[in-house]
Amino acid sequence: MIKNNVLKNINQIIENKNLILVGNKSVPLSLIKQSLEEEIQTLHVYELSGRKMKSKEDFYNEFYTKIPLINHPGKNLDAVRDCLLTLELYNKQKHLIFWKDADVLLKNNTKFFYEVVDLILGTLKELTVGDEIEKENSPEEFKDWIPTWVGCLITGDLTLLQNEYDYSILKSLFWEEMFFELDSNTTVFLTK
């Protein structure tokens, strides 16, 4: 059921051609659809209901209810980051976080919404960089190992982002040097 919901949302995104951002570079919509439709059957999908998330507390409750934590260090963004970085320890499948109706949090707590989006983007890039470094330092028999894929599909009425959200925040010197120059096996799809 959840995978069908993801496919339905992907198809709506493609039909409406309303993609704002895909990871760290533009990707043709047809490629996104083809790629995700092929991958969807292999994904472990975590569906977050944005309608339940009007505040920080609501966000953390929904996140921790739907996404497993190896160690539960508390309800804060550091714990969310740790959870994203350790998903592969919980389950070796590919992972997709499907956050529906994200505009509810955007409208009710704009500052926190931006912090969460920044955290997700940065953490998924960090996960990719860490996996690539680990792969390079691995013994020869592990050289063909493929890093864990973690993606995030964020949907909702995010038209406010176009006018109010400065994506250049994500492209500061640090992020650009560390993450944006690298090919990524993680992707964030931000739609309106």
Q: How many Å separate Cα 108 from the centre of its chain?
A: 21
Asked if residue 103 is part of any domain, the answer here is yes
Asked if residue 21 is part of any domain, the answer here is no
Distances (CA, A) of 135 to 27, 95, 124, 144, 187: 26, 19, 16, 8, 19
Tell whether the model's pLDDT for residue 65 goes beyond 50: yes
Tell whether the model's pLDDT for residue 134 goes beyond 60: no
Instruction: State the helix-helix crossing angle for 56-66 and 77-85, rounded to 10 degrees.
Output: 20
Asked if residue 164 is part of any domain, the answer here is yes
Asked if residue 192 is part of any domain, the answer here is no
Total domains in the fold of the chain: 1
Tell whether the model's pLDDT for residue 55 goes beyond 90: yes
pTM: 0.65
Tell whether the model's pLDDT for residue 185 goes beyond 50: no
Most confident stretch, 25-29, 85-89, 135-139: 85-89
What integer pLDDT is reported at residue 152 of this predicted model? Answer: 77
Q: How many CA atoms lie within 13 A of 160 on its CB side?
A: 15
Give me the domain span that covers residue 54: 2-15+29-187
What integer pLDDT is reported at residue 191 of this predicted model? Answer: 41
Asked if residue 23 is part of any domain, the answer here is no
Give the DSSP H/E element, type plus range, for residue 47: strand 43-49
- Rounded to whole angstroms, the Cα distance separating 4 from 67 reads 19
Sheet hosting strand 94-100, strand order edge to edge: 19-22, 187-191, 150-154, 94-100, 43-49
Tell whether the model's pLDDT for residue 58 goes beyond 90: yes
pLDDT band at 4 (very low <50, low <70, confident <90, very high): low
Asked if residue 20 is part of any domain, the answer here is no
Asked if residue 170 is part of any domain, the answer here is yes
Question: What is the average pLDDT score of the chain?
Answer: 65
Angle at 105 between CA 103 and CA 111, to 5 degrees: 110
The arithmetic mean of pLDDT across residues 18-23, rounded, is 38
The CATH number of residue 7's host domain is 3.30.370.10
Asked if residue 78 is part of any domain, the answer here is yes
Is 167 within 8 Å of 21 (Cβ atoms)? yes
